[in-house]
Amino acid sequence: MSAYADQRVLVVGGTSGVGLATAREFVTQGADTVIASRSPQRLDAALAVLGGLTASGGGAVNGQTLDICSEEEVEKFAATAGEFDHVVVSAGETPMGRVDALPLADAYAAMDSKFWGAYRIARSVRVRPTGSLTLLAGYLSQRPGRASALQSAINAALEALVRGLALEYAPLRVNAVSPGLLRTPLWEGMDVTARERMYEAAAQRLPVGRVGEAADVAQAVLFVTGNAYATGTTVYVDGGGTIA
């Protein structure tokens, strides 16, 4: 029997990319999984995919519309959702751009979404002391690019938050997973040719010889949620991007 059978899991941002891949793993392993997103359309599409796993013997899955940028919505959800064994926060919208070119309103919105959104969940949603809270950051915390100072700062802040929460919330385990470049819907708005060139260039640079997939990161998430001796740490799943 899976270690996640009969456990309740919340995946915030569980409708696409890493969040959906993570929810898929939990459902497959028997967890009663709630996916949250601010988009009802994405929720419906994700539930249609994950519901097939439930029908095949996986755990139950439910959806919740939730805007993590709204303190009121997060607190209202937390008041009625009950306790979870594991909470994973993978939501967050962070537009790219140089500091001197990115509008301040966009920079504030990025911080409010990815950092303060995770902070709101960590502050309000109840997690059993024997469980875990996992935040998705990013390897740019260690390897900033030429137009990613803001993303680097947000990811570094999330990793620092994890270390502090691991002490404040102990014995609850709190960890971060920081992905590198992934082949996910995040890049769907990019020109197809430019996107493939980006992937090819990264594959040539990375020691593993390829870009990552959402499933690679989902496996790391389930590693830290399932390892009772892991807390206050950041796991980098970046194909060697921090050293290449």
The predicted-structure confidence for 5-47, as pLDDT tens digits, reads as follows 989 999 999 999 999 999 999 999 999 999 999 999 999 999 9
Tens digits of per-residue pLDDT, 166-219? 999 999 999 999 999 999 887 888 888 999 999 999 999 999 999 999 999 999
> Rounded distance, CA 24 to CA 29, Å?
9
DSSP-derived 3-state class of residue 121: helix
Q: pLDDT band for position 55 (50/70/90)?
A: confident
pLDDT digits (tens, 9 = 90+) for 115-126: 999 999 999 999
Question: What residues does each domain of the chain span?
Answer: 8-183+213-235
Sign (positive or negative) of CA dihedral 20, 43, 181, 233:
negative
Q: Which residues pair with 64 in a beta bridge?
A: 36
Q: What is the pLDDT of residues 61-84, one digit of tens each?
A: 999 999 999 999 999 999 999 999
- The tokens for 156 are 């570094």
CATH of domain 8-183+213-235: 3.40.50.720
- Phi/psi class of residue 239: alpha, beta or left (left: φ > 0; alpha: ψ in -120 to 50)? left
Confidence (pTM): 0.95
